[in-house]
Amino acid sequence: MITENTAHHSEQENATRKGSTLALFALTLGAFAIGMTEFIIMGLLPEVATSLKVSIPMAGFLITGYALGVAIGAPFITLATHRMPRKALLLFLMILFIAGNGLAALAPNYTVLMLARILAALTHGSFFGVGSVIASELVPKEKRAGAIAIMFTGLTLANILGVPFGTFLGQAYGWRSTFWAITLIGIIALIGIFMLVPKVANATSSLRKELGVLKRPAVHIALLMTVFGFGGVFTAFTYISPILVDITGFSPGSVSYILVLFGLGITIGNIYGGKLADRSLFPSLLGILFVLAIVLAVFSFTDQNKLLTLITVFVLGVAAFGTVPGLQLHMLNTAKEAPTLASTLNIAAFNLGNALGAFIGGIVIDAGFAGGLPAVPWVASLVTVIGILFTIWGAQHQKRLS
């Protein structure tokens, strides 16, 4: 009897584990589609700029527009859909995402493309915010950062597979073909979420409690950690294509392959960043941010040598996404009783950092500051240093509260 009960219990555990794995896979699939939309413009800046007759910095602002759409839209969508079942919310967001990318593929001019990007961006924050909460609830407490990292692997796979493929497709058949491909991937992700993600409990906290987290200084510090800690990445990476072509001397066709290298780096960084965050949150975050700041500063010199550039791009990927699971887990820890809005706000903060970084990089190029494009990496390093200072402040504030 004991053996039968043990076997039955073991079967239940295996079934639960398998269900959790499939649910995480579905979330990762959705993250892949959304991540490809977010990052694809970087590989197609010259093509979009030429086609729509705008400058490279103007094309770069399509990334800023997307990021601002996430930062501004995410909290409002989260609050407006507060009582919607979480699975239904994920399906609604994917439908909106598909519509935005379909419009982007049809956009006749820059303005419509910008609006389409913003429409798609509205789904981003809520998807990753709700997805982070679901992922963290599917596994034991000591594996929460690892589960979040698995979902964010969709973003890393978007860089390894999606962005290089989309860049190749856009260079060969025009940038619109890339957005049609993303639309198709979005449809597949929609089906995956419908079939694989189980119905999960709705948010248990009240709207007043969710909004109450906005009054906490610890939440404000956590958001600033994310904005500046991750903002330095996009100050440089938004303009990675012109840096590789105009400074390093790579051919435009080589960019997609180099993005694969960056994608491999962020996959490693994302996975091990999650493991390190589960072991020791603030020490690992500070260590990774210091490495990130150094790598960005060094890129100002290595970008003149092809081999050193390849090494730097890979290490930059590792350091960049090594911060993501820790920053997201810190926010969940900071607002445990109201995780949905807090998690979504932190995703918005990531994208506000993206917008800020793309804007700063564009200003540096347009103004010709310290030579323009060559100055972008070390300016990016300075942005990351600000993120380090906020992280030190956050660690001290957390120590006072504990």
Interval 289-299: pLDDT, tens: 999 999 999 99
Above 70 in pLDDT, residue 238? yes
- Mean pLDDT, range 235-244, rounded to an integer: 88
Query: In the structure encoding, which two tokens stand for residue 390, read together?
Result: 């906020």
| Residues 269 and 321 sit within 8 Å (Cβ to Cβ) | yes
Mean pLDDT of the chain: 83
Q: How many domains does the chain have?
A: 1
Confirm whether 5 is domain-assigned.
no
Tell which wins on pLDDT, 279 or 169: 169
The burial class, CB within 10 Å (0-12 / 13-18 / 19+), for 400 is exposed
| Residues 245 and 163 sit within 8 Å (Cβ to Cβ) | no
| Residues 263 and 154 sit within 8 Å (Cβ to Cβ) | no
From CA 373, how far away is CA 167, in angstroms rounded? 21
Tell which wins on pLDDT, 253 or 95: 95
Q: Label residue 12 by pLDDT band (50, 70, 90).
A: very low
Confirm whether 293 is domain-assigned.
yes
> Helix, strand or coil for residue 337?
coil
Question: Count of CB atoms within 10 A of residue 325's CB?
Answer: 32
Phi, psi of 214 (to 5 degrees): -70, -15
Q: What is the pLDDT of residues 78-132, one digit of tens each?
A: 778 777 887 888 889 999 999 999 999 999 999 999 999 999 998 887 888 777 7
Longest dimension (CA), the chain: 78
H or E, element range at 142: none
- Mean pLDDT, range 314-339, rounded to an integer: 83
Confirm whether 2 is domain-assigned.
no
**pLDDT given at position 8:** 44
Tell the residue number behind the tokens 């190029």, with chain if given.
365
Confirm whether 9 is domain-assigned.
no
Q: What share of the chain is helix, strand, coil (3-state, %, to 5)?
A: 90, 0, 10
From CA 282, how far away is CA 305, in angstroms rounded? 34
Confirm whether 155 is domain-assigned.
yes
Confirm whether 173 is domain-assigned.
yes
**pLDDT given at position 385:** 96
In sequence order, which residues have a C-beta less than 8 Å from that of residue 82 and are 6 or more positions away?
A: 203, 207, 210, 340
> Helix, strand or coil for residue 78?
helix
pTM check: above 0.85: no
Confirm whether 367 is domain-assigned.
yes
Confirm whether 351 is domain-assigned.
yes
- Mean pLDDT, range 181-195, rounded to an integer: 87
Q: Label residue 205 by pLDDT band (50, 70, 90).
A: low
Determine the structural domain holding residue 169 and report its residue range: 18-401
C-alpha closest to that of 87 among 46, 125, 133: 133
Please report, for the domain that includes residue 67, its CATH number.
1.20.1250.20
